[in-house]
Amino acid sequence: MKRLLDEGLEKLTNMILDMASISSKVVELAIDGYVSGRDVSKEVFQTAQQLRILEDEVVELGMELIARYQPVASDLRYIRSCMEIAYGFLRYGRYAYDISQVLSMFGDLRECKKDIVQETGKKVCEMIRMSVTAFKNRDVELAKKLELMDDEIDEAYVEFVKQAIENPLSGKKCDISITLILRYLERIADHATYIGESVEYIITGERAYRR
């Protein structure tokens, strides 16, 4: 027999998956806007606001389920994790908006080589998709792979900064703008990894504090 709590948990899951779809698209939009030189800040901002509203609704529903049904063990872990995951998706929207603002800050960036942004952005978007799949399928092994990918994003960011410092002849405007983008992507990758850690917590009941 289906519990009333189960109906609430199902609704919570669907809200998280809705946020996942929206946040993935807004990150991709922001990256594409930067690479193509297209101002997408208004569209990204509107989508980020949508994520903020949904995050509030997830937290509100989660607190209602806790207050009404007093769940324990795995149910409580799931509700708590959903609220944390929703916050991660909210941050995707925030960083996507930051990325979309770089063009207005620096102006014409057509002369900049954006290969590293495209490559890193592709990996980060893959991490977002993996984190969502891990959550949806309760796949702990897939969730663990996110940590290794996060290390690759970190290394790409640090390596680019080192090269920019060592090459004084490179374009300062290009270097600074790309450094900003990579930093935002690095933070998105961190949140994707946190979502993976939440999946582990949902299944095992143990927290993996890796940082």
Structure confidence by residue, pLDDT tens digits, 124-147: 999 999 999 999 999 999 999 999
- Count helices and strands (H / E) in the chain: 6, 0
- The rounded distance, in Å, linking the Cα atoms of 25 and 155 is 25
Please state the domain count of the chain.
Answer: 1
Asked whether the beta carbons of 55 and 89 are under 8 A apart, the reply is: yes
pLDDT higher than threshold 90 for residue 171:
no
Which whole number is the average pLDDT over 46-67? Answer: 97
Least confident of 44-53, 171-180, 186-195: 171-180
Domain assignment present for 126? yes
Domain assignment present for 102? yes
Please state, rounded to an integer, the average pLDDT across all residues of the chain.
92
Domain assignment present for 124? yes
Domain containing residue 135: 4-204
- At residue 26 the predicted structure's pLDDT band, cuts being 50, 70 and 90, is very high
Domain assignment present for 24? yes
| CATH code assigned at 63 | 1.20.58.220
pLDDT higher than threshold 60 for residue 75:
yes
- The rounded distance, in Å, linking the Cα atoms of 93 and 82 is 17
Domain assignment present for 210? no
pLDDT of residue 135: 95
Domain assignment present for 159? yes
**Phi (first) and psi of residue 111, to 5 degrees:** -75, -15
Which whole number is the average pLDDT over 94-100? Answer: 97
Which whole number is the average pLDDT over 153-173? Answer: 85
pLDDT of residue 31: 96
Taking the model in full, what pTM does it have? 0.91
